């Protein structure tokens, strides 16, 4: 029974991440007018470029999102054939240690950061509107002095949330935590130090439904 529930949880995570990342694939060629507004990302960190003029950012295994690095690379190559002119990075490559790395130009870097910022609070990176109908609000909390959020509070329609909780829980907790975790790394946070606290609330009563800390350990 435990294995079945773990499988269901993994399936829900994979599908919810796919839902969020599908909006990332084609957002590079469209303007993100709100990205520099007061409600958008404010972190200005940009790492140095390598000898090839590329920025290389390595994401830890805890931010794979339920897939292997090889699977992420294969999916990226498949999508790239259809969105090549809109890509927000040059390549996503798997590393031998199970991590994966983004290869970007200095022009692409802030676009990828902005995309993950919006995905981390359940918003479409182009329109910046909340992407889930049962979510009434999703707000970052615990922003540090560098403008990096460490928490997320999500208000949901409780009836819908509880109707298929294993699915909707993954949609509003694990999936945005992975997106926000990647944003933190893009802001200069070490891959060993990223952390996200997600609070889910009933939109009507304000009651806390659940709280979650990521990355999880020992699962």
> What percent of the chain is modeled with pLDDT above 90?
73
In a domain, 12, yes or no: yes
SS3 207: coil
In a domain, 170, yes or no: yes
Q: What does the pLDDT average to over 34-41?
A: 53
In a domain, 138, yes or no: yes
Q: Is the pLDDT of residue 22 over 60?
A: no
DSSP letters, 39-74, are: TS------PPP-TTS-EEEEEPGGGS-SS-HHHHHH
Task: Please tell me the total count of domains within the chain.
Answer: 1
Domain that includes residue 114, residue range: 2-46+107-214
- Given this model, what pLDDT does residue 12 score? 46
In a domain, 65, yes or no: no
**104 to each of 74, 107, 138, 200, how far by Cα in Å?**
18, 8, 29, 34
Q: Tell me the whole-structure pTM to 2 decimals.
A: 0.85
In a domain, 80, yes or no: no
Q: Is the pLDDT of residue 218 over 60?
A: no
Mean pLDDT of the chain: 85
């Amino acid at each position: 029974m435990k294995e079945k529930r773990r499988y269901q949880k993994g399936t829900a995570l994979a599908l919810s991440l796919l839902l969020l990342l599908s909006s990332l694939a084609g957002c590079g060629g469209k303007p993100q007018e709100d990205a520099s507004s007061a409600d958008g990302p404010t972190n200005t960190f940009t790492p140095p470029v390598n000898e090839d003029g590329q920025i290389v950012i390595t994401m830890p295994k805890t931010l794979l999102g339920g897939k292997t690095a090889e699977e992420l690379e294969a999916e990226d190559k498949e999508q790239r054939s259809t969105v090549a002119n809109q890509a927000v990075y040059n390549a996503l490559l798997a590393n031998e240690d199970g991590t994966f790395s983004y290869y970007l130009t200095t022009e692409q870097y802030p676009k990828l950061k902005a995309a993950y910022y919006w995905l981390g609070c359940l918003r479409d990176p182009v329109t910046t509107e909340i992407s889930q109908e049962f979510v009434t609000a999703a707000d970052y909390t615990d922003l540090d002095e560098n403008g990096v959020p460490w928490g997320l509070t999500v208000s949901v329609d409780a009836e819908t949330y509880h109707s298929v909780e294993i699915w909707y829980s993954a949609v509003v907790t694990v999936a945005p935590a992975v997106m926000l975790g990647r944003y933190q790394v893009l802001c200069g946070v070490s891959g060993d130090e990223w952390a996200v606290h997600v609070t889910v609330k009933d939109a009507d009563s304000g009651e806390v439904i659940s709280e979650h800390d990521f990355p999880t350990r020992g699962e």
